[in-house]
Structure 1
């Protein structure tokens, strides 16, 4: 299901279109709908649905009426009605499934004001369309420079040319309302075409740019997620997550969309548990809930006067205590229902016979430095000798006079004999 731009390039390296799930040339788009009715023929005497789904750049999809009864298939480039002029898009769906998609998006399949498909795109239309698409990066760079020069607090995230180059759509993000009247004048003078500004959210911008999430996988919004539902901080509270904005926020700066994935299962599980704010009354005193584990169905309570000591209880025992409290017969204490943790020793089921579990089995053994060891032995030997004076003792010895030095030079016998190394005795010839 890949397109020609996803094939291998030079030296066998993957080429890729780098569109982050919004490829506009074939069926590797996240918005592509599988046509499971394509191999089925219509019954005799019935006419097929005459509306087709056409996809454009930047995840834009629209429905057009095939008034000319053209034989259109998935992947065909068509010239569609636009204001002004015409636009070039690719057919992504046809037949009865288009009716289902229109109802899903709350559009009337039989409306009379639907735009029309003019014709199949000719080679001249495709050349003009490809030419303006090659200009989009340069136009985006120049448009950002103009917006920065005017001091506008906005960001141009993407640029889309119409198929006949008669209009340019600038997609931007901004926190506040932006007055871009002067900006449109300069854009029209610079690019010599009609200008349209369209604001998008930060989630749509992240879906367009793509990236890697904290889970290590590609962003959901750029691969398969098509609708952006509102995410609230209560979703993190129900799942007992720390309210840390750095961990809960995605690359778009908003709360992560994946917080809604498991929220329904948590809401169903919480219905079985008592409310976190409710207190338990016992004869010993009131106890407050400190922690809840939904998966193991356990709760931790502590007395108001002894907040440091927690008592682990099962869900069944907590519900029993609450029922007795409602009946007006509070239990004596929480210690009666306290669960003692089981301390078990880990059993070893293997034996290291060959020594393969050693972490240093592939390391080279360290070689001992023989010179250092010899020097250490000599130093130890010199310190053990009683006749060998230390450095301090040598300093304290009186210096020899010049007469004594001359006597030693004249009398070679008076010099101290040198310690000659003894040679081993020669072996006698047999």
Structure 2
């Protein structure tokens, strides 16, 4: 354990990979050093990668054997004078980066003088403070000369002896007079570098339509040409407003997945082949490239009787048509596939579910004492208590129990009163009695004939 702690203190390694492998994230050209925690990695070569403002970096020899690590600010050789940069990569991986940069001449690799001193840093901060004002004034000078160009950025060298002007132009520009005017105005050595619209967007930065920071401003180093064929392979609508990025060029992200779409499209049937069944002829209407699904329509120009099948089923039908066979339908013999689309759980819930008051659950009605008394009578044969009111019992299909006739109120001495006389007398009572009497049935004519 003690040896591991000592190694951690010396190399700065924690939990496997070294935290020094990743440089500062505000620098676009950072390279992850997978060999940073390997013992003796720094001693394998004296080459060091140094990064400057935005998209510029260089490779230098550490001839003075300085103990350099990521993040150190150093003074390097420049033409003329010296420049100030930040160390971003050391060790064995720098050799591979030099091969990638195609630096064939040894003169392209200069030397590291020293670690930057306070005097160097003061001079460097003064140079950086002059960049914005210089860019605004240089744009006005180019406009007065009538040049069709745009100066996008200015970068001063660390010792203020040189300035690099980055410009954008669609056509060839003769800026010989511009260089003379800039040198006379700012009293520095002038260097002009032409960049494209993508490089300009990477230097300025911004947020893309996807909501994230621009790829060209964060990690993208090499800009590959993007064509409209990438949009056609992915079946994207050729809308210039949606396909263009912040640089007014085609989005670089169109090339990210085009290889997968090209590989998947090879498994789909041709668009010109017509599928023939016993019912009708089907024309290709649309395709889902990554899912491997094709949709056919009976009309060549309209969506009519759409049928969606897999690419394998479509190829089977094409092979059957070549042999002269016609299937009954497109989906005949095809296994039904489960719908694997992701469901949005938020759409399944009612948004007003919190506003509704909770309904009180109805308690089950208690069994009446009459039912329990009747059950007791069935089992024991005893009469129920008179205090309990008899009710209808529909148990076991026995029907309704008739309600006992009321016998008038009892006298205090136990005698029973007679029935209460009806209040309605006379015609009303006679009319009611006639209604209660059954009507006599009239004899049929055939009965009369028989009697005759």
**TM-score normalised by the chain length of structure 1:** 0.68
Match of 2:130 in 1: 135
Q: Which of the numbers 22, 30, 41 marks the counterpart of 2:28? A: 30
User: Which structure: larger Rg?
Assistant: 2
Match of 2:63 in 1: 67
Contact 1:313 1:339 in 2 (8 A): no
Separation of aligned partners in 2, 1:197 and 1:260: 31
Is 1:327–2:326 an aligned residue pair? no
Q: Which of the numbers 297, 301, 315 marks the counterpart of 1:302? A: 297
Match of 2:214 in 1: 219
Relative CO higher for 1 or 2, CA cutoff 8 Å, sep ≥ 6? 1
Q: Which of the numbers 271, 287, 290 marks the counterpart of 2:285? A: 290
Contact 2:297 2:304 in 1 (8 A): yes
* Structure 2 segments unaligned to the other structure (5+ residues): 1-22, 339-344, 358-452
Contact 2:74 2:114 in 1 (8 A): yes
Counterpart secondary structure, 1:218: coil
Q: Does 272-281 or 298-307 show the bigger shift? A: 298-307
Match of 1:391 in 2: none
Q: Counterparts of 1:250-329 in structure 2 under 5 Å?
A: 250-281=245-276, 287-303=282-298, 307-315=302-310, 316-329=312-325
Contact 1:285 1:304 in 2 (8 A): no
Counterpart secondary structure, 2:110: coil
Counterpart secondary structure, 1:116: strand
Contact 2:43 2:91 in 1 (8 A): no
Counterpart secondary structure, 1:212: coil
Separation of aligned partners in 2, 1:100 and 1:192: 39
* Structure 1 segments unaligned to the other structure (5+ residues): 1-24, 359-430
Number of aligned residue pairs: give it: 328
Match of 1:398 in 2: none
User: What do the CA deviations read for 1:240-276 (whole angstroms, capped 9, x no partner)?
Assistant: 1110000010000111111122222222221211122
Contact 1:238 1:266 in 2 (8 A): yes
Match of 2:379 in 1: none
Q: CA deviation at 1:281?
A: 4.7
Q: Relative to 1, partners in 2 of residues 1:174 and 1:278: Cα closer, same or farther, differing over 3 Å?
A: farther
Q: CA deviation at 1:123?
A: 2.5
Contact 1:154 1:174 in 2 (8 A): yes
Contact 2:50 2:58 in 1 (8 A): yes
The two structures, once aligned, show a CA RMSD in angstroms of 3.4
Q: CA deviation at 1:134?
A: 0.7
Match of 2:73 in 1: 77
Is 1:93–2:92 an aligned residue pair? no
